[in-house]
């Protein structure tokens, strides 16, 4: 986000999630090929997963190997 009145107090996706994906795609991280992007249904997970999905596709991961799922707050029926 780049709104005037919005600021982050923690790591942004490019500082936390993308390095984690890079590691998991590496041989040391297990060479992960299929991905599940899971999150609670609110703006931060949706934004992060949108960024991650585009990043994974840019790295050659086909869309059928990326699953995205959101759950409501308090969800516990797995």
Alpha-carbon distance 51 to 15, whole Å? 12
Domain that holds residue 28: 17-71
Q: Mean pLDDT across the chain, nearest whole number? A: 93
Q: What is the CA radius of gyration of the chain?
A: 14
- Mean predicted confidence (pLDDT) in 5-19: 84
In a domain? residue 10: no
Residue 6 falls inside a structural domain: no
**Distance separating alpha carbons of residues 53 and 58, to the nearest angstrom:** 9
Residue 76 forms part of a structural domain? no
The whole-model pTM stands at 0.83
Q: Express each pLDDT in 33-57 by its tens digit.
A: 999 999 999 999 999 999 999 999 9
8 token code pair: 């982050």
Structural domain total, the chain = 1
Q: In whole angstroms, give the CA distance from residue 40 to residue 53.
A: 16
In contact, 19 and 13? CB cutoff 8 Å: no
In a domain, 7, yes or no: no
- What is the per-residue pLDDT for 10? 79
């Amino acid at each position: 986000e780049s709104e005037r009145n919005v600021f982050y107090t923690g790591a942004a996706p490019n500082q936390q999630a993308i390095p984690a994906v890079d590691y998991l795609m590496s041989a040391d991280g297990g060479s992960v090929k299929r991905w599940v992007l899971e999150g609670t249904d609110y703006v931060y997970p949706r934004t992060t997963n949108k960024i991650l999905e585009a990043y994974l596709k840019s790295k050659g991961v086909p869309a059928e190997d990326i699953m995205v799922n959101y759950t409501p707050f308090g969800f516990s029926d797995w």
